[in-house]
Structure 1
Amino acid sequence: MRVQVRSGDSFWHYSRLFMVPLNLIIDSNPTINPSALQIGQEVQIPGFIVQKYTLKKGDTFWKLSEARHLSVDALLLLNQNVNPNQLQAGQSINIPQRVITPFINGKKPYNFKALTADIANLKSVFPFIQVNNIGKSVLGKPIQEIRLGKGTKKVHFNASFHANEWITSGILMALLNHFLLSLTNAKPIRGLSTMPLYQAVDLSIVPMVNPDGVDLVVNGPPAEVKEQVVSINRGSTDFTGWKANIRGVDLNNQFPAKWEVEKERKEEKAPAPRDFPGDAPLTEPETIAMANLARTRQFDRMLAFHTQGEEFYWGYEGLEPPESRVLAAEFARVSGYEPIQYIDSFAGYKDWFIKEFRRPGFTIELGSGINPLPLSQFDEIFEEVLGIYLAALYM
């Protein structure tokens, strides 16, 4: 919500007026000096939207504010061109509306269009988040990162490395929406206050690593590559089993962590719907973007959301630090998922992250069944991984 500064206004006054943490107002306006507000300057208030209201006979700012548990000054701030002593029925005014319920609907076939709209909506309501493009997919779609928090502990989540695991993107976005609402409304999640997490953590989220592949599974093939992807798919137009990017390269088999072993033993030696690791590691723009992000940001821990199995993998060749075991035990406790230290599968992002940085990395396999998982599992998966999300930030 945007407001215009009046004489005597301050960020502190806005914080008290709307009961929003002062630090979130400051972080929502990074280019504004809180000590030098200018009359007429536009300021963003997180956690609110503006609703239009048509006045009825007998309405006053006092009555409207009382009914909505608002200060009269909040109405005055949003309606600076309205004379409160000369209100008329039928007149339209602005009313600040606190956002208290989640508005991200991840419980649907979640494609790139849905993700982009949801990121824009989150940025509008919670302007203290940053949205960065870390690279582009094969077809030129931006690979988007959401970043927030003021701390030194760097935590990264990602989802939808694999195309038919698109439910992970909706889950991750719903988790973020839940967390952001907790911050602006000062409401704990499972008894845990989230503002200390915001202050302690620099959080990075890439909710859709493989947007071309996700769109292929959810929407069907785009015209410009239809012939190519149908050919890779052995002539079939059923793409529900497709895990790869649009070029038929499995992005989670693309990283230089025993890539040669995977290349040798994989049956797929050419582009395929799944399991083809490419002709060399890090050939695809999506994997290059994710590797560059980790190298640039130097995350302290990383969690990659996949499906399925209700388990997670946390080791690689004995290179994982002792901290990984502690985190794994807590993740298992809060989710009920089975922790598995080693698995005979390599060249994944988690493997490379552990190998490259000697820091905790995890592949979290959400839900159970056959991919794409049915949306009927969404709510259950959300509750299972909410504990993992919080523990990754807290511990």
Structure 2
Amino acid sequence: MEIIMRNGDSLWYYSRLLSIPYVLIKDSNPNAIMQAGERIHIPGLKVEKYKIKNGDTFFSIAEDFDLPLDALNLFNQNVNPKKIFTKDIINIPKIVSFPLINGKRKYDTRALKQDMKILLDTYPFIKKQEIGKSVLGKSIEMLIIGNGKKKVHINGSFHGNEWITSGVLMRFINEYACALTSETELNGNKPSKLYNDTTLLAVPMVDPDGVDLVLNGPPEDDVYKELVLQLNNGSRDFSAWKANIRGVDLNNQFPARWELEQVRKPKAPAPRDYPGTAPLTEPEAIVMAEITEKYQFDRVIALHTQGKELYWGFEGEEPMPLSEEIAEEFEKVSGYKAIRYVDSYAGYKDWYIQEYRKPGFTIELGIGVNPLPLRQFDKIYEDTRGIMLAGLYM
């Protein structure tokens, strides 16, 4: 939320007054010029309205709500504290100590957009960057949190019918941001240390077109509407659709033994598994390759469904023993089975390991048939949050 800076105030003063880490306030106001009258973002706070009762004073109200008196003054600058009357309404600042978004729903691009706005408004130290667009021109966006040299990338919804992974990732980002402002430990880890040591770069929805197709049906665009219906044998049930809107499986699009997948996978666009005519033909896959090259991630975690397994090797090119140590920790905190090699190629994780010789992981969340039912969400999140946290601190 915003406050109006007063003469003589500083970001450091606001940090001490409101018990919010200075670095988060500073990062929420990168362009602040520090002058009276300037609007300043204060992360992780909400305001509740309070109706003045007979006998109330600012001092007694601050005492009742366990607030510094000047915090009450700061959030009520248009109120004369010596002239408050019964039934007047004032603002009571409170630190947000609970998740604000609901990942446990049909998580399409509309839900993602709504939740990104909530997070960015509440935690403006989170930075949003449009990294590209889908076939249908929908934004593919990345959220960036932290100042550390170690860069950890996590993504979700490479496949349309694995949309539950986007809700899981957004829920984690919300929990992490909340812990930062409230200074609440995460599995014994100080969030401030994670923030200073690590930069999280998260792409919650790699394939927005595919997700919307699965959840909302064919697009309005006549060309692609006709195409997806044809590829789906005329059925309007797209629940089994894994590919992007052009019928290309994005996680078979990377130049990591791609030719081996081409031989044994569909030879034409299809709801799943078609690797395309060549590696990196699809804008969504190109975007992921470009940001990986640009940011030089130190490790990547790709969230998929299903199987309660995690894959961490590729053709012996993964760095040892680091990849194995991280995989063992992931297995320990989640209960998922760590598997080094699987008979699969051309995936994002495969390509990352091959190109950068750094730890890469594919996590298969939950168990059953895709798309996984929302009744699994809480259990999936409970299992997966440990993996995402370990990905940041290890």
Q: Does 1:273 align with 2:271?
A: yes
Q: Normalising to structure 1: TM-score of the pair?
A: 0.96
For 1:182 and 1:97, the matched residues in 2 are separated by 14
Structure 1 position 57, deviation (Å): 4.2
Q: Does 1:291 align with 2:289?
A: yes
For 1:59 and 1:106, the matched residues in 2 are separated by 41
Name the Cα RMSD after superposition. Answer: 1.3
Unaligned runs of 5+ in 2: none
In the alignment, which residue of structure 2 is the partner of 1:343?
A: 342
Q: Does 1:93 align with 2:90?
A: yes
For 2:337 and 2:229, the matched residues in 1 are separated by 37
Structure 1 position 148, deviation (Å): 1.2
Letter in 1 for 2:238: F
| Aligned partner of residue 200 in structure 2, secondary structure | strand
Counterpart mapping for 1:375-394 below 5 A: 375-394=374-393
Counterpart mapping for 1:328-367 below 5 A: 328-367=327-366
Counterpart mapping for 1:74-223 below 5 A: 74-223=71-220
Structure 1 position 194, deviation (Å): 1.5
For 1:230 and 1:62, the matched residues in 2 are separated by 67
Aligned match for 1:282, one of 280, 283, 287: 280
Paired residues, number: 391
| Aligned partner of residue 214 in structure 2, secondary structure | helix
Q: Spell out, residue by residue over 1:270-307, the C-alpha distance to the aligned partner (whole angstroms, 9 max, x if none).
A: 11110111111111110111000000000010000000
Q: Normalising to structure 2: TM-score of the pair?
A: 0.97
| Aligned partner of residue 87 in structure 1, secondary structure | coil
Structure 1 position 90, deviation (Å): 3.6
In the alignment, which residue of structure 2 is the partner of 1:316?
A: 314
In the alignment, which residue of structure 1 is the partner of 2:371?
A: 372
Counterpart mapping for 1:5-24 below 5 A: 5-24=5-24
Structure 1 position 367, deviation (Å): 0.5
For 2:262 and 2:86, the matched residues in 1 are separated by 73
Structure 1 position 12, deviation (Å): 1.8
For 1:208 and 1:7, the matched residues in 2 are separated by 43
For 2:64 and 2:231, the matched residues in 1 are separated by 61
For 1:308 and 1:233, the matched residues in 2 are separated by 22
Letter in 1 for 2:324: R
In the alignment, which residue of structure 2 is the partner of 1:51?
A: 48
For 2:279 and 2:349, the matched residues in 1 are separated by 14
In the alignment, which residue of structure 2 is the partner of 1:300?
A: 298
Letter in 1 for 2:200: L
For 2:363 and 2:103, the matched residues in 1 are separated by 18
Most deviating of 220-229 and 271-280? 220-229
Q: Percent sequence identity over matched residues?
A: 57
